[in-house]
Chain A
Amino acid sequence: MSTLGALLKRDLAAFLPGSTRGNSLLPLLFFLAVAMLYPFAIGPDAELLAATGGGVIWVAALLAAILPLDRLLAPDVENGFFDQWALRGIAEEMVVAVRLLAHWLSFGPFIILAAFPASALVGIDNETLHTVLLGLLAGTPGLAAIGIIIASVTVGLKGNAALSGLLTIPLAVPLLIFGAGSLSSGGEGGIALTGAISLVLVAIAPFAGGAAIRAAREG
């Protein structure tokens, strides 16, 4: 129990916005920047903006989730943290599960909050915002899980930042289809499917991540 607490405390200190590692506010700012730039690029067509704004928020959330991937697991493997944990009998799966929670907490809730100002920037109405918020709540844990899986698979590679971003995008397509798709169907069906995909991803992420980190050790 004390181990779990220590792990979570260290992870939160490293990943929450305003943490000591410094660049943890970037995903949030990036998310807002995309939402802000979009109306400039599209022009002042309120109808068009309102129709597409929800989808843009989703794409911005996906891109923001990709940003911290290269520092999610790789530094701890390089610095020997995972070796030390292994010698203490602390399973990689547990470390990865804790890291997944910390990673989601570091961007999920903040992006959901930032969706309020973002919705004003892209000019979507309250009802659409409601669907976007529920969708993000259901979808961001899945985005975090994909991030963890990709970060663990690319752990031993040099210059893994660009590659992990590229690998994340196809995996995130189902989440995006159902999450952003719920906007046009106006509905709970899409959000429920988004939540289901998220749950599956969250369930397999610790095991996939643990296996990938052990495999990287043998290399």
Chain B
Amino acid sequence: MEPCRLSAKDLACRRGERLLFTGLSLELGAGQALHVTGPNGTGKSSLIRIVAGLLRPFAGHVEHSGSMGLLDERLALDEHLPLGKALRFWEQVDSCSDPAMSLATMQIEDLLEVPVRYLSTGQRKRAAIARLLNGGRNIWLLDEPFNGLDTQACEALEALLALHCGGGGIALVASHQSFTMDGVKTLHLPEFEA
């Protein structure tokens, strides 16, 4: 597998009449992580969606090699189904052969029979992280991944991030919360405000 890479040049993002940021460039190679910080409304989520290719940038372009996985506030799990069944759909789509590991890591094995709509905020987040893990993607795009997680789950996610980048993956984490990780770079979005 060729090493994954993520680069963006001179990105600008416009939402409605407002230019959120401009002249933003980033360059991430295998094993690197970037923490995007900034107050609400500075464009953290928009940046993630632009990098994911879901939103067209107002200017600039994004290049990447390697598969991308997205984790945002939207769960993409069927609310009326038991969690196990809802996750199984993505396991089939991602051809994941061993989902048990990630379920154990996120401690959601006991919740598999519970319909998704009855899960708490933190439990939903953990399920979404399990889906991300099962996807086996090279480039992780995480939008506020620590929201709603308890201390223990936060530490688990930090460990997962370290493991992911240690294995040659890339992580782009947009979060107003700080987290500990060796070698993580920080990008403060307000510095690119127009």
Contacts and interface: CB of A to CB of B under 8 A. Distances in A.
A21 interface: yes
Contacts, number: 57
Interface string B47-59: 0000011111000
B81 A20 contact: yes
A19 B77 CA distance: 17
A93 interface: no
A75 to B, nearest CB: 8
Given A83-B72, A86-B54, 8 more contacts: A2-B92, A2-B95, A10-B89, A80-B75, A83-B74, A84-B70, A84-B90, A217-B54
Interface in B79-128: 79-81, 89-90, 92-95
B4 to A, nearest CB: 14
B162 interface: no
Interface in A1-38: 2-3, 5-7, 10, 14, 20-22
B77 A79 contact: yes
Give the dominant DSSP class at A's interface: helix
Given A87-B69, A217-B55, A218-B55, A80 B76 contact: yes
B78 interface: yes
Contacts of A158: none
Contacts of B56: 218
Contacts of B55: 217-218
A2 B90 CA distance: 11
Contacts of A218: 55-56
Interface residues of A, number: 23
B77 to A, nearest CB: 7
B68 interface: yes
Interface string B8-44: 0000000000000000000000000000000000000
Interface of B: 52-56, 67-70, 72, 74-81, 89-90, 92-95, 135
A2 B97 CA distance: 13
A121 to B, nearest CB: 34
21 contacts: A2-B93, A3-B92, A5-B92, A20-B80, A21-B80, A78-B74, A79-B76, A80-B75, A83-B74, A84-B90, A85-B93, A86-B53, A86-B54, A87-B52, A87-B53, A87-B54, A87-B68, A87-B69, A88-B67, A88-B93, A218-B56
Interface in A102-135: none
B54 A83 contact: yes
A90 B56 CA distance: 18
B76 A84 contact: yes
A23 B112 CA distance: 24
A88 B52 CA distance: 11
Contacts of B68: 87
